[in-house]
Amino acid sequence: MTQAPDQLAPPQTIGLDLRPGNGAVHRMESRKKQALETGRSRLLVAGVGFALAFFLVASRMVELAVAPLAREPSLAASQVGDRLDTGRAEILDRNGIVLATTLPMASLYADTAQIVYPEQAAQRLRTVLPELDQVRLTKTFASGKRFVWIKRKISPTKQFKVNRLGIPGLHFQREMTRIYPMGRLTAHLLGYTNIDNRGLAGIEQAFDKRLRESSVPLKISIDLRIQHLVAEELAAAKETFRAIGAAGLVMDANNGEVLASISLPSYNPYRPEDLTEDEIDRNSLGVYELGSIFKVLTLAMGIEEGVVRLTDAFDARKPLKIGGHTIDDFHAKRTVLTVPEVFIHSSNIGTALIASRVGGERLKGYLDELGMLETLEGTQLHTARPILPLRWQAVNVATIAFGHGIAVTPLHFAAAAAATVNGGYYYSPRFTLHDKPFEEVLEEGRQAFSRKTSEAMRWLMRLNVQKGSGRKAAVEGYLVGGKTGTPEKLIGGRYAKNRRMANFVAAFPMDRPRFLVLIMLDEPKPTKDTYGYATAGWVAAPVTGRLIARLAPLLGVDPAAKEASEIADRHLIPVVIGGD
């Protein structure tokens, strides 16, 4: 019998009863929830783990970037100790421009106990550092020493390449290296340091302890703008006149601060080992017979002593004979010369006669007062000791009067010359800024000459630029005064007539001098434009004039109208003319 469709039996399932109220459904849903909770917990734990790992990695990266010196290899630190502390304070010019700073670099050292194959390691390392010696490097790697320097202060590129070699036992130590952004422009002035950043010359040596022990930048008196202008004018003159060397400096006449100091040829401050004798700092370490610019000092001594008046006259009609020696003029006038004429015609005869009135003892005393007999005190830089005569006889006094028989550095002379125009006060040259008010600085000066003598010298120097050997140093609108000097060089114990120096000392503005300029060219050669002459009036004076024309606006010295200049010139007439 066949059953009707609506009377069919309910479907049957195998092993699972899905009818309402059955417990199997509830157990299945419970297991699903439990699995979800377990997965969620595992994801949470994994997320926390990843976050912790990321935090640790990030922390290490920050530590390496921000404090790279905090965790250097302990082996290197234990072996070299204090030498790893190679930081130095910056050196700045007076306007805050960086002249010297330090940057981190890597130095390569080896723990040779970890190097298994010394010869192979040496060969591989030389593919990056070919300057290393193969034999010596192999012996070093085979020595078994726990620490040995391989190469100090290598570039980041080479550090990367060494790391890529993967040689066990090679490690890097971070050190600081000295950087001189201005290169040769400030090389002589700043000096240099050794491999451990200890100062060996210049400002680096003079202030070594201060630069190593303090992080505060050292601000010096140099104005980089003026330094650049002096270097530019000197380099052009050196090339034009084919001189073997040149030097120039600019000084504040009222406190001794050196605003610029250039010596040519200069040198690469990163390779001081290549320094030659021609590349010494001529301003502070070179001693020279500076010639007729010394007459500035001799005339000031004579006026100060009261043995010479500007109205006095001296017989220069024939050479002067002293103790078997003959003194003559380069451009002899063969006439009687007044004191102003002695100065503007640069008469050796007249100047020697003035020195004889001063006398050897008093002349020597003045030179001592002007710091010309010893290394400079308070200058901060190391300076050479002057070369003096063994005996101060009459002939020595006569020749020293016009700059022969005594050799000093340009820095010595500049400070002494400043005292003749600034009111009579001597200030030792300095390369750091005064930290006292201007009035207190003035009181620190040592009075070497009276104001009356200084006024007379201002007039004489101004007169020389107007009518004498310094005419080519004249600058329109500025009251420039100065003196030429063209000494013959002493070669092999004899003066060589064809090997001279050309020197010019100047000050401005002469109605109230603020700045002193000294230019020196060593063995200049004549040109067609100088009509065969290579004397200071043709060579050094024009350089000085061009330099002052560029310097004056930077130094805040405004040009005066023609009428104002004429009035100022009239005011320069000294009170000593015609009597006390």
Instruction: pLDDT tens for the chain, 580 residues: list them.
Output: 444 444 444 544 444 454 555 566 566 667 777 777 777 777 777 777 777 777 777 766 665 555 444 344 545 555 554 445 567 999 999 999 999 999 888 889 999 989 989 999 999 999 999 999 999 999 999 998 999 999 988 888 888 999 899 999 999 988 888 999 999 999 999 999 998 889 999 999 999 999 999 989 999 999 999 999 999 999 999 999 999 999 999 999 999 999 999 999 999 999 988 889 889 999 999 999 999 999 999 999 999 999 999 999 999 999 999 988 899 998 888 999 999 999 999 999 999 999 999 999 999 999 999 999 999 977 778 899 999 999 899 999 999 999 999 999 999 999 999 999 999 999 999 999 877 665 555 557 899 999 999 999 999 999 999 999 999 999 999 999 999 999 999 888 888 888 999 999 999 999 999 999 999 999 999 999 999 999 999 999 999 999 999 999 999 998 887 766 777 777 676 654 443 3
Residue 76's pLDDT is 56
Largest CA distance in the chain: 171
Cα–Cα separations (whole angstroms), residue 163 to 140, 172, 520: 19, 9, 52
Residue 366's pLDDT is 97
What is the amino acid identity at position 402? F
Contacts of 363 (CB under 8 A, 6+ apart): 298, 301, 355, 392, 397, 400, 401
Mark 500-538 as b/e (b = at least 16 C-beta within 10 Å).
bbbbbbbbbbbbebbbbbbbbbbbbeeeeebeeebbbbb
Cα–Cα separations (whole angstroms), residue 8 to 13, 14, 20: 15, 19, 20
Residue 293's pLDDT is 98
Residue 57's pLDDT is 73
Task: Look at strands 170-179 and 313-315 and give their pairing.
Answer: unpaired
Cα–Cα separations (whole angstroms), residue 418 to 351, 386, 454, 455, 519: 20, 18, 10, 12, 14
Cβ distance 304 to 449 under 8 Å?
A: yes
Q: Residue 12, Cβ neighbours under 10 Å: how many?
A: 5
Cα–Cα separations (whole angstroms), residue 297 to 303, 424, 467, 508, 516: 10, 11, 20, 17, 14
* 531: region left, alpha or beta (phi > 0 left; psi from -120 to 50 alpha): left
Phi, psi dihedrals of residue 99, rounded to the nearest 5°: -105, -30
Residue 4's pLDDT is 47
Assign 265 to helix, strand or coil: coil
Residue 22's pLDDT is 54
Assign 440 to helix, strand or coil: helix
Q: Which residues are catalytic, by number?
A: 292
Residue 192's pLDDT is 94
Cα–Cα separations (whole angstroms), residue 423 to 340, 510, 562: 20, 11, 25
Residue 47's pLDDT is 76
User: CA 360: distance to chain centroid?
Assistant: 38
Q: Which domains does the chain have, with CATH numbers?
A: 86-111+138-219 (3.90.1310.10), 227-571 (3.40.710.10)
Residue 337's pLDDT is 95
